Amino acid sequence: MTLSVFTGTLFIRERIAIPAPVVATVKLVSADGEVLAATAVEANSVPVEFSVTVDPEILGAHKHLSLWAFVRSSVGAWGTLELAPAKGNTAEVVLTRIPE
C-alpha cells in the first residue's frame, strides 16, 4: 500500500525568539470538517517542518482538503484562525497568536 504524504512548514507572524521545546499539532481536514489524518511534532524552534501521512483510500472522493495547525510553547500559543487550503502535497502555513 502506498501512502500519501503532506509536508509543510509552520511559521508565526511575530519576529520573536521562542524557547525550546515547541509542540506543533497538524490535522488534515476534509471540506465537511472530518479529520482525515493528524500528527504532532516536537521542535526546537519555529518554523516547524511537518509531515502528515494518510491512506489514499481515506482521502477517497475528498477534493477540497485543508490544514489546521497549532503550536504551543512556554511563551504562548499560535494557530490557524481559519483552515488553510492544502493545495497539492506541500503547504506553508502562517499561524496567528492565540490569546490565552
**Which class is 4-98 in CATH?**
mainly beta
CA distance readout (Å), 49 to 3, 32, 34, 46, 57 = 19, 26, 23, 9, 25
pLDDT band at 88 (very low <50, low <70, confident <90, very high): confident
Of 71 and 99, the structure prediction assigns the larger pLDDT to 71
**Could you read off the pLDDT of 26-66 as tens digits, one per residue?**
999 998 889 999 999 999 989 999 999 998 888 877 778 99
Please state the pTM of the whole predicted model: 0.90
DSSP assignment letter at 83: P
**Burial (Cβ within 10 Å: 0-12, 13-18, ≥19) of residue 84:** buried
- Work out the mean pLDDT of the chain and round it to a whole number: 91
Of 8 and 2, the structure prediction assigns the larger pLDDT to 8
Domain limits of the chain?
4-98
User: 99 in helix, strand or coil?
Assistant: coil
What pLDDT shows up at residue 1? 63
Which is it for strands 22-30 and 65-73: parallel, antiparallel or unpaired?
antiparallel
Grid look-up 484562525 returns 81
CA 86 vs. chain centroid, Å, equals 10
What pLDDT shows up at residue 73? 93
User: 59 in helix, strand or coil?
Assistant: helix
